[in-house]
C-alpha cells in the first residue's frame, strides 16, 4: 500500500509474536518507522511466531523472491483432538483415545516428504469464487478445497511425549503446517492439531537477523536490511555506468564484444540481479546476448 510517509527501502526480518496477524504486524511497523510503502512476504497465522519478512519501498518489488524461498518451521502437534481450524484456536470437532509412539511417528514421516498432495485447512486465505475460505467457514459453509501439490524437503521428529510431539520441517511455498499436523494424526490412527508453530527461517532470513517489535522501537531505521537481502541466491551481473543508465531507462542491453559475451555465459540464461557500484539497479532476465529489465530499482 502507498501513502504519505518516509522513503525507506529495505527489509525487516520481524520476529512476530503470537496473537498478532500479519496485517496487524504491518500496522505496528508502519507506526514505528512510517514507511511510504510496505508489504509482507508470506503470511503467518496469529498463533504462529517467528520470521515475518516485511518489505518497504523498493524492496516490495522483490517480494515474489522471498515468497518462493524454502522455509523452516518448528511445531508441536497435540494428539487426541481435531479442531475446526486445525490449530489451538478452533473448536473441537473430533476426538480419539489413540496416542502414537515415537516409532510409529517416525515410520510415517517418509509419506510426508518430497512432492506430496495436501488439502489446505478450511480456515485459510485461499479464495473460492472470490471469497476467502475462512470467511465461508466462519459463516458455517462447508468449504470444498482441492488437494494441492507442495514440496517438503525434510520432516523430522524432535521429541515425543504421550499427548504431543514436536517436529522440524523444511518446505516450499504453499505448505500448510496445520494441514501437515492434521494429516499426520489421521495417518497414525488418531487426530491432532497444531498447538505451537514457529517459523525459524525464510530463505536467507534466519533468527540471527530477526528483530522484535520492542527492539525495533529502540533501533529504528538501523534495523532495516538492504533490498538485496532476499536476492542473495540470484547471479549478479555487474554493470558499468552507461549500462546501468540504459537499464534504468527501461532499455535492453545487447552484448557483442567477446569479454561482455563471456560475462553473460558465466551467468547463464535466466534471472539475474544487475548491480552498479554495489547497488541493485534492476532485476533482469538474460536471453542469449541480450539483457531485459524486469524490475527497475530506484535506489
- The DSSP secondary structure of 11-38, one letter per residue, reads EEEEEEPTT--HHHHHHHHHHHH-BSBE
DSSP 220: G
| Domain 10-69+204-230 and domain 234-296 have a common topology | no
The question of whether 271 is a catalytic residue gets the answer: no
User: Which of these is catalytic: 45, 86, 87, 183?
Assistant: 45
What's the topology of domain 71-202?
Answer: Pseudouridine synthase (3.30.2350)
186-234 pLDDT tens trace: 999 999 999 999 999 999 999 999 999 999 999 989 999 999 888 877 8
270-295 pLDDT tens trace: 888 888 888 889 999 988 888 999 99
Residue 137: is its pLDDT beyond 60? Answer: no
Please state, in angstroms and as integers, the Cα–Cα distance from residue 274 to each residue in 1, 62, 254, following that order.
Answer: 26, 13, 14
Q: Is the pTM here over 0.85, yes or no? A: yes
Q: If pLDDT is split at 50, 70 and 90, which confidence band does 15 have?
A: very high
170-198 pLDDT tens trace: 999 999 999 999 999 999 999 999 999 99
In this predicted model, which residue has the larger pLDDT, 2 or 115?
115
The CATH architecture annotation of domain 234-296 reads Roll (2.30)
Residues 154/159/163/167 CA torsion (nearest 10 deg): -20
Cα dihedral sign, 24-30-36-39: negative
Domain boundaries defined on the chain: 10-69+204-230, 71-202, 234-296
Residue 124: is its pLDDT beyond 70? Answer: no
Q: If pLDDT is split at 50, 70 and 90, which confidence band does 134 have?
A: low
**% of the chain with per-residue pLDDT over 90:** 62
- In CATH, which superfamily holds the domain spanning 10-69+204-230? Pseudouridine synthase (3.30.2350.10)
Amino acid at each position: 500500500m502507498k501513502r504519505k510517509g518516509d522513503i525507506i527501502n529495505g527489509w525487516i526480518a520481524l520476529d512476530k509474536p503470537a496473537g498478532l496477524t500479519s496485517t496487524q504486524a504491518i500496522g505496528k511497523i508502519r507506526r514505528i518507522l512510517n514507511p511510504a510503502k510496505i508489504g509482507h512476504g508470506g503470511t503467518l497465522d496469529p498463533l504462529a511466531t517467528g520470521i515475518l519478512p516485511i518489505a518497504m519501498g523498493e524492496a516490495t518489488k522483490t517480494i515474489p523472491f522471498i515468497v518462493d524461498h524454502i522455509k523452516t518451521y518448528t511445531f508441536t502437534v497435540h494428539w487426541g483432538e481435531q479442531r475446526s481450524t486445525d490449530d489451538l484456536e478452533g473448536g473441537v470437532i473430533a476426538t480419539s483415545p489413540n496416542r502414537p509412539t515415537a516409532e510409529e511417528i517416525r515410520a510415517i514421516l517418509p509419506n510426508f516428504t518430497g512432492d506430496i498432495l495436501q488439502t489446505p485447512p478450511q480456515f485459510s486465505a485461499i479464495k473460492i469464487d472470490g471469497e476467502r475460505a475462512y470467511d465461508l467457514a466462519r459463516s458455517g459453509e462447508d468449504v470444498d478445497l482441492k488437494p494441492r501439490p507442495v514440496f517438503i524437503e525434510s520432516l523430522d521428529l524432535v521429541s515425543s511425549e504421550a499427548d504431543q510431539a514436536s517436529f522440524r520441517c523444511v518446505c516450499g511455498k504453499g505448505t500448510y503446517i496445520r494441514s501437515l499436523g492434521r494429516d499426520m494424526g489421521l495417518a497414525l490412527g488418531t487426530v491432532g492439531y497444531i498447538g505451537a508453530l514457529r517459523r525459524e527461517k525464510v530463505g536467507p532470513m534466519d533468527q540471527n537477523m530477526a528483530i522484535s517489535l520492542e527492539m525495533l522501537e529502540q533501533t529504528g531505521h538501523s534495523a532495516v536490511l538492504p533490498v538485496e537481502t532476499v536476492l542473495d541466491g540470484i547471479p549478479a551481473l555487474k554493470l558499468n555506468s552507461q549500462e546501468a543508465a540504459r537499464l534504468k531507462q527501461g532499455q535492453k542491453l545487447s552484448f557483442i564484444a567477446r569479454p561482455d559475451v563471456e560475462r553473460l555465459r558465466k551467468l547463464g540464461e535466466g534471472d539475474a540481479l544487475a548491480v552498479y557500484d554495489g547497488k541493485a539497479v534492476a532485476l533482469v532476465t538474460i536471453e542469449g546476448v541480450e539483457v531485459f529489465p524486469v524490475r527497475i530499482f530506484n535506489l
